[in-house]
Structure 1
Amino acid sequence: MEFLVKSTRPETLKTATLVVAIGEGRKLGLAAKAVDEASAGAISALLKRGDIAGKSGQTLLLHSLPGLKAERVLLVGSGKGELSDRQYRKLVAAVHGVLKGLGGSDAVLALGELKVKGRDAYGKTRLLVETLADGDYVFDQFKSQKAEARALKKITLIADKAEQADSERGSLHAQAIASGMAFTRNLGNLPPNLCHPSYLADEAKALGKAHKNLKVEILDEKKLKELGAGAFLAVAQGSAQPPRMIVMHYHGGAKDEAPFTLVGKGITFDTGGISIKPAAGMDEMKYDMCGAASVFGTLKAVLELQLPINLVCLLACAENMPSGGATRPGDIVTSMSGQTVEILNTDAEGRLVLCDTLTYAERFKPQAVIDIATLTGACIVALGSQVSGLMGNNEALVKQLLKAGEHADDRAWQLPLHDEYQEQLDSPFADIANIGGPKAGTITAGCFLSRFAKKYHWAHLDIAGTAWISGGKDKGATGRPVPLLTQYLLDRVK
């Protein structure tokens, strides 16, 4: 979908559908007033009949109003006063729901006057375009009958002249983020018989070929053995699919500028291994690579925007399967850092591939490292599916991510990483156990990772609750936390 920003009078535009806002109590907004005057009071007359009250998200479609070049006018209720982010998104989604069912190829949205709490023109446009673009997402790659092509191809946003530049910037950033989210969702929604570690490696190579300032390196089993990645290899040894560590270097900043590093968990299917999961819902374990997918999506947004930073993306990709060669509970492995790990539960595998990848990240001397992982079911118990869990060893970095989440409307919540929790990982036979018992499972998983991230500023995002929607017709990857991560990197540019 194409998005344009214009500073013009909405009532003068020729379009298939013109969208204007009506406040609660049937109050006309500025754009609606102009349209009402141009149409000789047609909207006022309809409001007097009580056809729409103006409550947030209500819609009323009008056809062939006199005095206008627009074929249709869509009234949308904007409620009372300032809108929250959630209310604004719901309002935009309601508009999109009507537009995508119409035959017109374009629409004009005159909604710039709406007040959204804490949002300027840039922020409102970001939310609006992301919501529209994300709502247009369809995954029908494996359907024999594809979804009908959408008629709507272009949306023009009306902005005040003084705010046009900010709105254009918001639209540009939103389109890049939406593109990254779609990339992430596509990877997450792929079936695990196709989307395995080698497939993700091929996706990385394709990105590298398309962009001159992206260098891609794939570390195979042989290289991982040479590096001493015993924890990483232990996860993959039960599968016929070979593991891959994918290394992508984006060079957008000065040559000597330290990079930011994103580390993604890429377990392309997680049976739990010998500690096998229950059968119900196990199909959703194809989403256990959504951490890696979100790194891909963030990188895609960065590539589209050509941000002036250096970025290293490390994807820890493996498949966790039970077999005669699989890791057993009680096995002890030696990680790349030299620390030994007693594997008490083979379903706590994400931290095993991540710990070696975090050690590998040291060689890049990064400004900061953020790992992203669908790591623990305990995070869903603690925080549900609304926000991601966040921990780290540097308070400034944690605050930067929390702030980015607020700005992107892709929020995280900080959990404690106190030393007292570390004791739960004590093992009588190795340096560390890979689980810490039934209490505070999300935190002890973060504690485990922290032991491999002592040489740089590090943060951990647990996206087990936010990376995908479970069950039912709406099941699928969400594309989160691409907005949060992209916002964090945009903030570093400033």
Structure 2
Amino acid sequence: MDFELKSLTAAQVAQLPVDALLVLVPDTPPTTKSADQALTRLVAQAVEHKDLENGVAKLLACYRPEGFKASRVTLVRVGDGSAASVRKAVTAGMGSLKQPGIQKLALVFSLIEATDDGVRAAMQACADATYCYTTTKPSAKARTVKQVVVGVAKAGDVQRGFEVGKAQVVGVEFAKEWANRPANHATPTMLGEAARKLGRKPGMKTDVLGPKQVEALGMGSFLSVARGSVEPLRFIVMHYNGGAKGSAPVVLVGKGITFDTGGISIKPAADMDEMKFDMGGAASVLGTFAALAELKPAINVVGLIPSCENMPDGQAVKPGDVVTSMSGQTIEILNTDAEGRLILCDALTYAERFKPRAVVDVATLTGACMIALGSVRSGLFASTEELANQLMAAGEAAQDLCWRLPLDDDYADGLKTNFADVANVAGRAGGAITAAKFLQRFASKYPWAHLDIAGSAWKSGAAKGATGRPVGLLLDFLLASQASKPAATKTRQRRAA
């Protein structure tokens, strides 16, 4: 999708040569009905005759209104004009503009005060509403809206937000496309090739390691998950070098289980097809790197993606098996369906070599997090207050929300076992937290955060498909970290008396 930013007065909006206008209207719109102000006259009349109700996302769709070059004009309320309200309003407005004849659209902020975050939110909502997956469905209709003019009072005031918005759309759609692919079109090898292609962009580099190299690194936990599949594992190491040479990078780690049967602890058949989305963390890391390639910020970033399938066959790891991780810690695998943490733990140990300023892992890790938070917010765990606050703020700014959950030491008690240093699962209670406590054992040498996106990475039902989250959050976090110091203060963990 091609976005263009323009400075437009209310009078100029009516003369735009576009197929449709989506006009954002505040709680208190202009009241003028002057003959040379077609837009303000239309809004004032709609309000006067109560055709445009109060309330965010309330709208009025008009066909060939007088004084406009566009054949379709949709007025939509944005309330206070906050980014959240803008996103909701644009989503509703786009629902009324799905006619096949609309190829060029204008998102009009001329009646409200545009902000960087509001412009980003509008652009992402527009892209989400028109995204169409076609990789394995060539008969699907191609995206109809191909050009979007973002009209604001002063383009220079929101230029940065517009540029970030464009990059975010690229990254989110990259993540969606890969997460939506069925597992036979998104194998670990194919993910590696996608990463290699990104690695050819300026400032980037990609290495893809195979089974023998992973074995030489001592990643016994990662290897154990891949044993049941004929598809060879891949460990993807990506570098974005935009900062000063030697400057400590931020490391992003993405879970890349390209299909998850549960292994020997096999999942129920119902909805198992959705386990193609279990590489949503990996897709979000790839998408974030695609966005970095567009923006070229002055920061160093490393992306680590351990990728394999979790399948049941004669070589598959069994419940009760004990494996040795790269850190040297032994793990009793009580449930082979808790495999994401087994590949992530070795990647977290590998991250130590980069002496990172912070490490953030992203994973569709637990159904328990979905039960706790639903699909609105991703689960956030962090070892430092500063890192937690940075990620929360990034989520708010990008409208890609998360919510912090605790890491009290008592939650780790359930991971104790008589046969290894740690078990890979505890009981059902607090499952998202005990999974995070498992990962924390392997992330003690740097500020670390974990994003559980099991509820936010994809939608089920009629709207089934990947969301591309949390690319927006990660991108905002990385851009903000350019000016911030490394998070260094460990969070004090509480233990019951």
TM-score normalised to structure 2 length: 0.91
Counterpart check, 1:240 vs 2:230: yes
Q: Once the 2 structures are TM-superposed, how far is the Cα of residue 41 of structure 1 from its aligned partner?
A: 5.2
Tell me how far apart the structure 1 counterparts of residues 17 and 93 of structure 2 sit (CA, whole Å): 15
Letter in 2 for 1:90: K
1:176, 1:282 → 2: CA distance? 33
Residue 167 of structure 1 pairs with residue 158 of structure 2? yes
* Residue 156 (str. 1) matches residue 159 (str. 2): no
Shift of 1:429: 1.0
Question: Alpha carbons of 1:335 and 1:103: their partners in 2 closer, same or farther (altered >3 Å)?
Answer: same
Give, in angstroms, the shift of residue 167 of structure 1: 1.8
User: Which amino acid counterpart does residue 77 of structure 2 have in structure 1?
Assistant: S
Partner of 1:208: 199
How far apart, CA to CA, are the structure 2 residues paired with 1:285 and 1:314? Answer: 21
For the pair 1:74 / 2:73, whether they are aligned, the reply is yes
Q: Is the 8 A contact 2:171 2:471 kept in 1?
A: yes
8 A Cα contact 2:30 2:40, kept in partner: no
Q: 1:212/1:438 Cα in 2 relative to 1: closer, same or farther (>3 Å)? A: same
2:9 maps to 1:9 = yes
Q: Which residue of 2 aligns with 1:478?
A: 467
Contact 2:209 2:236 (8 Å CA) reproduced: yes
CA separation of 1:489 and 1:23: change in aligned 2, threshold 3 A: closer
Aligned-pair distance for 1:462?
Answer: 0.6
Look up the match of 1:197. Answer: 188
**Take 1:41 and 1:460, find their aligned partners in 2: how far apart are those partners?**
51
Question: Distance in 2 between the 1:167 and 1:332 partners?
Answer: 55
Name the residue aligned to 1:321.
311
Q: Which runs of 4+ in 1 moved over 6 A?
A: none
1:21-68 deviations in Å (ceiling 9; x for gaps): 4566xx6437x85677448956655655544335432333334444x3
User: Any idea what SS the aligned residue of 2:304 has?
Assistant: strand
User: For the residues of structure 2 that align with 1:39 and 1:190, how far apart are their CA atoms?
Assistant: 43
Q: Distance in 2 between matches of 1:102 and 1:203?
A: 32
Task: Kindly state the Cα deviation for residue 205 of structure 1 after the two structures are TM-superposed.
Answer: 1.2
Q: Which residue of 2 aligns with 1:145?
A: 139
- Partner residue, 1:87: 85
Residue 42 and residue 332 in structure 1: after superposition, are their counterparts in 2 closer, same or farther (change >3 A)? Answer: closer
CA contact (8 A) 1:56 1:76 kept: no
More divergent stretch after superposition (6-15 vs 275-284): 6-15
The offset of 1:95, in angstroms, is 2.2
Go from structure 1 to structure 2 and tell me whether the alpha carbon gap of 1:34 and 1:141 turns closer, same or farther (over 3 Å shift).
farther
Partners of 2:425 and 2:408 in 1: how far apart? 16
| Residue 3 (structure 1) shift | 1.9
Match of 1:374 in 2: 364
Contact conserved, 1:22 with 1:54, CA < 8 A, in 2? no
Q: Is the 8 A contact 2:9 2:153 kept in 1?
A: no
SS for the counterpart of 2:372 is helix
Is the aligned partner of 1:179 residue 2:173?
no
Question: How big is the shift at 1:69?
Answer: 5.0
Is the Cα contact below 8 Å between 1:342 and 1:427 reproduced in 2?
Answer: yes
Match of 1:419 among 409, 413, 437: 409
Question: Shift in Å at residue 5 of structure 1?
Answer: 2.0
Query: 2:130 corresponds to which letter in structure 1?
Result: D
Taking structure 1 as the reference length, the TM-score comes to: 0.92
User: Aligned-pair distance for 1:386?
Assistant: 0.9
How far 1:148 moved relative to its partner? 4.6
Q: Distance in 1 between matches of 2:363 and 2:283?
A: 10
Q: Is the 8 A contact 2:369 2:432 kept in 1?
A: yes
8 Å CA contact retained: 1:76, 1:91: no
Distance in 2 separating the partners of 1:178 and 1:270: 28
Question: CA 1:48–1:438 in 2, change beyond 3 Å: closer, same or farther?
Answer: closer
Structure 1 position 252 matched with structure 2 position 242: yes
After superposition, where does 1:312-351 map in structure 2 within 5 Å?
A: 312-351=302-341
Query: Sequence identity of aligned pairs in percent?
Result: 46
2:365–2:454 Cα contact (<8 Å) kept: yes
Maintained 8 Å contact 1:217/1:246: yes
What is the distance in 2 between the residues matched to 1:337 and 1:421? 21
Matches within 5 A, 1:16-27: 16=18, 17-22=20-25
Q: Tell me the SS of whatever aligns to 1:158.
A: strand
- The 1:306/1:443 distance shift into structure 2, 3 A limit, reads same
Paired with 1:42 and 1:386, the residues of 2 have a C-alpha distance of: 36
Q: Quote the Cα distance in structure 1 between the aligned partners of 2:4 and 2:60.
A: 24
Q: CA deviation at 1:355?
A: 0.6
CA-CA distance at 1:432 after TM superposition: 0.6
Alpha-carbon separation, structure 2, partners of 1:174 and 1:235: 37
Distance 2:481 2:251 in 1: 13
Unaligned runs of 5+ in 2: 484-497
Q: Distance in 1 between matches of 2:370 and 2:431?
A: 11
Given residue 316 of structure 2, which amino acid in structure 1 is its aligned partner? A
Q: CA deviation at 1:15?
A: 2.0
Does residue 228 (structure 1) correspond to residue 218 (structure 2)? The answer is yes
Change (3 A) 1:399 1:11: same
Q: How many residues were matched structurally? A: 480
The answer as to whether partners of 1:4 and 1:157 remain within 8 angstroms in 2 is yes
